Amino acid sequence: MPAARAFRSVSSMSELTRRIGADTRYLILGFPAAVVSFSLLVPLFATGLGTAVTVFGLFVLALALLIARGFATAERNLLSEVLGRPISAPRYRRPPVGAGWFRTGTTPLACGQSWMDLAYGILRLPLATASFTIAVSWWAVALGGLAYPLYGWVIEATPGNTSLPELLGLSDGLGVSFLFHVLVGALSAATLPFVLRFTALLNAGLAQALLTPAPSPGGIGAHQGVPPFGPATPPHAPSAPQSGSYFRRGVVTGPAP
């Protein structure tokens, strides 16, 4: 029915608009986040690595891992909007109950996911920079080209101005310049959703590879997700060995007296 087709058309347009907004927001916000994380993590990591033979260096490395964890948490929140599904948080290692200050402070060093967060915070900058440049440039060409008739007459009237169509060997008339820029803007606008989507998924692929937990057998464990900052789960007390067992689960026990 015409009404149903019109409703589907409006729904599709609304979904397309939402997708363009989500991808644009992800790419635009990703660049300053990458700059800040790179500026913080690289000096801390270099300082901690250079002084790792001391207690101070170990705590600096642990601090870098905790900062990287915070950036990773923010990235997962943006990633869920781009992928259209919730992203579960990995299971971070936590100090055991009653651990001393040294064990508590250096626990992040023994957490593999924390090192993955640190790697992402450092390695994402080149891709985030290129993606930000592409997104801003595509938007600028699309909007600037389509709106050229509103301001182009001022540029064309400037003495000594040489328009782009004239440089390409086309006519230097005002109508030709308007038509050329509008067509370029329309082409950029038509390809904008695909360019943004491809670039956003490229960034999301790197984030998924380093920040999302790998499924564990039976779907138990890391895939269930645990908030990155939370109370530690107290360890279960080991059960007493049964009488007469000598080798049980790789633990040597003696016979019961």
Could you tell me which residues are beta bridge partners of residue 247?
252
Q: What is the pLDDT of residue 98?
A: 82
Q: Tokens in use for 213?
A: 């937990």
pLDDT of residue 254: 45
- Is 246 inside a domain boundary? no
Residue 253 falls inside a structural domain: no
Q: What is the pLDDT along the chain (257 residues), one digit of tens a residue?
A: 555 554 465 667 888 999 999 999 999 999 999 999 999 999 999 999 999 999 999 999 999 999 999 999 999 988 988 988 888 888 888 888 888 888 888 999 999 999 999 999 999 999 999 999 999 999 999 999 999 888 887 877 777 677 777 777 776 677 778 888 899 999 999 999 999 999 999 999 999 999 987 654 444 343 344 444 444 444 444 444 444 433 343 444 444 44
Q: 8 lies in which domain range? A: 2-224
Domain count of the fold of the chain: 1
Residue 234, in any domain of the structure: no
Structure tokens at 129: 């920079």
- Residues 105 and 64: their CA atoms lie apart, in Å, by 12
The number of C-alpha atoms within 13 Å of 60 and in the hemisphere containing its C-beta is: 18
Q: What are phi and psi of 94, to 5 degrees?
A: -125, 150
The reported pLDDT for the residue numbered 3 is: 52
CB of 209 within 8 A of CB of 90? no
Residue with tokens 């600096």: 60
The residue to which tokens 């670039």 are assigned = 199
Please check whether residue 233 lies inside any domain of the structure: no
Residues with Cβ within 8 Å of 225's Cβ and at least 6 positions away in sequence, in order, are 88, 89, 90, 91, 213
> Is 232 inside any structural domain?
no
Helices (H), 51-146: 55-83, 101-106, 112-146
**Does the residue 212 lie in any domain?**
yes
Q: Give the up-direction half-sphere exposure of residue 257: CA atoms within 13 A in the CB hemisphere.
A: 0
Grouping H, G, I as helix, E, B as strand and the rest as coil, residue 97 is coil
- Phi and psi at residue 51, to the nearest 5°: -115, 25
